[in-house]
């Protein structure tokens, strides 16, 4: 038996103003995208803004459905939009944020496993890591480089692409 450890490196910021101008702008655009969230059941709005290598920003927000499994997370809404409209684009950075009127969100929210797997597929397709900003409105921001930091045992099977 072998005992192994996995550790991740990330940056933590106490406020938005500590980020560079481009990352601040992306976080603000993610906050704006909260307005497009359709979340009448959970009342938990999630949004993302994704910056492509040519400077284009694509936003997404969670879209719920009365049949719960039929909804879609903000990250996948944005990523699938990019895949359909900018298939050759390189994703540089994603900013993700959330809001609810039901309680105060005190820490940055992170992605679900399904969204991480989709993000990993985009990294694999573009052969470049994606930088992720988890933005707690009026609070901390976490910056992570690369999906494998968040999903170290990402599903990969190279023979499927043959």
CB 141 within 8 A of CB 108: yes
**Residue 140, number of CB atoms within 10 A of its CB:** 16
Is residue 75 annotated as a catalytic residue, yes or no? yes
Can you name the residues that pair with 131 across neighbouring β-strands?
Answer: 93, 145
Catalytic residue among 64, 75, 92, 131: 75
**What are the beta bridge partners of residue 48?**
60, 96
What is the DSSP secondary-structure string of 17-28? GGS-HHHHHHHH
Residues serving a catalytic function are 75
């Amino acid at each position: 038996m072998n005992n192994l450890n996995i550790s991740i490196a990330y940056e933590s910021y106490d406020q938005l103003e500590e980020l560079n101008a481009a990352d601040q702008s992306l976080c603000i655009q993610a906050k704006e995208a909260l307005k497009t969230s359709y979340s009448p059941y959970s009342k938990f709005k999630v949004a993302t803004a994704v910056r492509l290598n040519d400077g284009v920003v694509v936003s997404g927000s969670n879209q719920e459905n009365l049949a719960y499994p039929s909804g879609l997370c903000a990250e996948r809404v944005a990523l699938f939009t990019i895949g359909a409209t900018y298939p050759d684009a390189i994703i540089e950075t994603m900013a993700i944020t959330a809001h609810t009127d039901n309680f105060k969100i005190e820490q940055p929210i992170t992605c679900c496993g399904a969204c991480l797997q989709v993000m990993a597929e985009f990294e694999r397709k573009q052969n470049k890591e994606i930088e992720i900003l988890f933005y707690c409105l009026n609070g901390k921001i976490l910056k992570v480089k690369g999906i494998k930091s968040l999903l170290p045992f990402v599903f990969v099977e190279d023979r499927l692409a043959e």
